């Protein structure tokens, strides 16, 4: 995939309103929104497209609602409910209105990059941002395809963001960790034990986390997530294998090698902007702590970053980093409560966690959260209100919403 026709052999001497670095969900959506608003946009990524990205590939209903264009062309399956289990024992098979969809990140990201390009953004894959500097008027970019400039820079360059490290060398994210494998179906197709319109969540797959099974077009994505990152992944690989063994529907499937990925969690105080440069998605440390979801919050931050950038450009005014921090404040608050939910549930002793997960009211809270019908804040307080009753063996009375 090359750059737009007629833009020259490289970027030397070019000037843009905005440069978006990173062709993940956050960078692509930022570029699409700004290009649609009439701004000149550079969208670049160091990798060739499509490129593989370690990701479970679940698009929550919350994420789908943030997309301004249909993505059915790259959806593998729509999820019409969820299965909740404990160490392979089915607790509930919840039939629900759509809770989300399943995608493969390489396909999804490429599709979104093409949407941004069609909206008018200049797409430059295999183009690394090697360095940058900023002054009162613009950001100077040194790329592997020549030096150019932009009035604003949006850093969407992932969990280990070089842009973040360049701006905020002292800030260290709080890390969670996920590890996953692709379980390819046998020629006869998948076992009936695993329905293809349900996402499975197992909240006793491991301590301090959960396991998932996501059905795709021709395979299952199977993984485990832990709230705390450790130096070695060997323990998680063993737990992934153990988790997969608990679900007989995977026995005939052929697993690929497991791959791991860190998830930078919001600390509530992370720096997200300096001068003419702002961060979005994983680069801004906007990982969700309860389920490890990143796409919805990447898209949300991209929407806010694009509005911030467009406002500054249209007013021809110096951008306000503090205004961007204020714009992200509601999002960071939600992520704070996702961490509190994770700490509440994943630190419970196993018998209490099992009783909590088996409670119908708690199951409904999880489903409503997945569907985007509840905020993380309200979910946290609802859980906190119910857990003591569950611990005492009593069912909490119905709570008014």
Q: Is residue 360 part of a domain?
A: no
Whether residue 174 is predicted with pLDDT greater than 70 in this model: the reply is: yes
* DSSP at 105: H
pTM > 0.85: yes or no: yes
Would residue 142 count as lying in a domain?
yes
**In this structure, is residue 115 part of a structural domain?**
yes
pLDDT at 4: 47
According to the model, what pLDDT value does residue 8 have?
Answer: 58
Q: Domain total for the chain?
A: 2
Helices (runs of H) and strands (runs of E) counted in the chain: 10, 17
Whether the Cβ atoms of residue 200 and residue 212 lie closer than 8 Å to each other: yes
Report the pLDDT value the prediction gives residue 317, as an integer from 0 to 100.
85
Last residue within a domain, chosen from 320, 337, 354: 337
C-alpha 357/C-alpha 291 separation (Å) is 14
- Does residue 251 sit in the same domain as residue 275? no
The reported pLDDT for the residue numbered 93 is: 86
Q: What is the pLDDT of residue 400?
A: 36
- Tell me the percentage of the chain whose pLDDT exceeds 70: 94
Nearest by Cα to 154 from 323, 288, 303: 303
Q: Please compute the mean of the pLDDT values over residues 29-57 and round it to a whole number.
A: 94
Pair (306, 191) in one structural domain: no
Asked if 86 and 199 sit in the same domain, the reply is yes
Same domain, 137 and 26: yes
- Is residue 277 within 8 Å of residue 20, measured between CB atoms? no
Residue 387 lies in a domain: no
Lookup: tokens for 252:
């005939």
Highest mean pLDDT among 16-20, 246-250, 316-320: 16-20
| 192 and 93 fall within a common domain | yes
CA atoms within 13 A on the CB side of 31: 32
Same domain for 97 and 109, yes or no, is no
Task: Tell me what the mean pLDDT of segment 50-57 comes to.
Answer: 86
The answer to the question of residue 274 being in a domain is: yes
- Provide the 8-state DSSP code for 358: T
Lowest mean pLDDT among 168-182, 190-204, 225-239, 355-369: 225-239
Does 7 reside within a domain? Answer: no
Q: Which residue has the higher pLDDT, 17 or 192?
A: 17
Alpha-helical segments (H) within 15-141? 25-36, 61-66, 105-119
Domain membership of residue 91 (yes or no) is yes
The answer to whether 33 touches 70, Cβ cutoff 8 Å, is: no
Which of 337, 369, 385 is the last residue before a domain boundary?
A: 337
The CA–CA distances, whole Å, from 62 to 30, 66, 299, 303 equal 17, 7, 10, 13
Does one domain contain both 134 and 278? yes
Q: Tell me: the pLDDT tens digits for 201-225?
A: 998 888 889 999 999 999 999 999 9
Q: What percent of the chain has pLDDT over 90?
A: 65
Provide the pLDDT for residue 295. Answer: 95
- In this predicted structure, what is the pLDDT of residue 124? 97
Lowest mean per-residue pLDDT among 62-66, 100-104, 184-188, 289-293: 184-188
Statement to judge: residues 224 and 91 lie in one domain: yes
Mean residue pLDDT across the chain: 89
- Reply yes or no on whether the pLDDT at 264 is more than 90: yes
110 shares a domain with 132 = yes
Q: Is the pLDDT of residue 254 over 80?
A: yes
Domain-located, residue 242? yes
How far apart CA 106 and CA 49 sit, in angstroms, is: 8
Confidence at 341, pLDDT banded by 50, 70, 90? very high
What range defines the domain where residue 125 resides?
Answer: 15-52+105-170+270-337
Q: How confident is the model at residue 399, as a pLDDT?
A: 40
* Domain boundary, last residue among 309, 337, 365: 337
The pLDDT, as a whole number, for residue 350 is: 76
Say if residue 349 is exposed, middle or buried (CB neighbours under 10 Å; 0-12, 13-18, 19+).
Answer: exposed
325 and 190 in a single domain? The answer is: no
Q: How far apart are CA 256 and CA 95, in angstroms?
A: 30
Helical axes 376-391 vs 360-370, angle rounded to 10°: 170
Q: Where are the beta strands (DSSP E) in 125-229?
A: 129-134, 139-143, 146-155, 174-184, 199-202, 209-215, 219-226
301: domain CATH number is 3.50.50.60
Is residue 110 located within the same domain as residue 122? yes
pLDDT in tens, 323-337: 999 999 999 999 999
The domain that holds 97 is classified in CATH as 3.30.9.10
Q: Are residues 290 and 183 in the same domain?
A: no
């Amino acid at each position: 995939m090359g750059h737009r026709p007629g833009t020259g052999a490289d970027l030397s001497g070019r000037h843009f309103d905005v440069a978006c670095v990173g062709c993940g969900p956050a960078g692509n959506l930022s570029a699409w929104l700004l290009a649609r608003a009439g701004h000149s946009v550079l969208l670049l990524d160091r990798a060739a497209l499509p490129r593989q990205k370690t990701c479970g590939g679940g698009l929550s209903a919350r994420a789908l609602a943030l997309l301004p264009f249909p993505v059915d062309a790259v959806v593998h399956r729509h999820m019409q409910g969820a299965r909740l289990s404990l160490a392979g024992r089915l607790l509930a098979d919840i039939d629900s209105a759509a809770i989300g969809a399943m995608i493969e990140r390489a396909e999804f990201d490429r599709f979104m990059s093409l949407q941004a390009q069609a909206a008018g953004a200049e797409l430059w894959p295999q183009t690394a941002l090697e360095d940058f500097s900023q002054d009162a008027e613009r950001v100077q970019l040194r790329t592997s395809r020549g030096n150019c400039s932009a009035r604003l820079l949006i850093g969407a360059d992932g969990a280990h963001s070089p842009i973040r490290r360049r701006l905020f060398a002292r800030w260290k994210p709080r890390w969670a960790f996920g590890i996953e494998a692709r379980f390819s179906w046998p020629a006869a197709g998948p076992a009936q034990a695993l329905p293809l319109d349900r996402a499975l969540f197992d909240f006793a797959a491991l301590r301090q986390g959960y396991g998932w099974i996501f059905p795709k077009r021709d395979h299952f994505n199977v993984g485990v997530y832990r709230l705390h990152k450790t130096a070695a992944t060997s323990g998680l690989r063993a737990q992934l294998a153990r988790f997969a063994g608990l679900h007989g529907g995977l026995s005939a499937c052929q697993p690929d090698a497991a791959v791991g990925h860190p998830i930078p969690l919001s600390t509530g105080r992370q720096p997200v902007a300096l001068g003419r440069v702002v961060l979005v998605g994983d680069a801004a440390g906007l990982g969700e702590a309860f389920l490890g979801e990143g796409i919805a919050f990447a898209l949300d931050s991209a929407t806010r970053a694009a509005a911030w950038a467009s406002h500054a450009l249209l007013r021809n005014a110096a951008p306000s980093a503090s205004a961007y921090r204020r714009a992200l404040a509601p999002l960071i608050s939600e992520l704070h409560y996702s961490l509190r939910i994770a700490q509440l549930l994943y630190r419970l002793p196993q018998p209490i966690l099992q009783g909590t997960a088996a409670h119908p009211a708690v199951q409904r809270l999880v489903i409503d959260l997945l569907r985007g019908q509840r905020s993380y804040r309200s979910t946290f307080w609802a859980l906190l209100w119910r857990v003591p009753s569950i611990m005492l063996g009593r069912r909490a009375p119905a709570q008014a919403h």
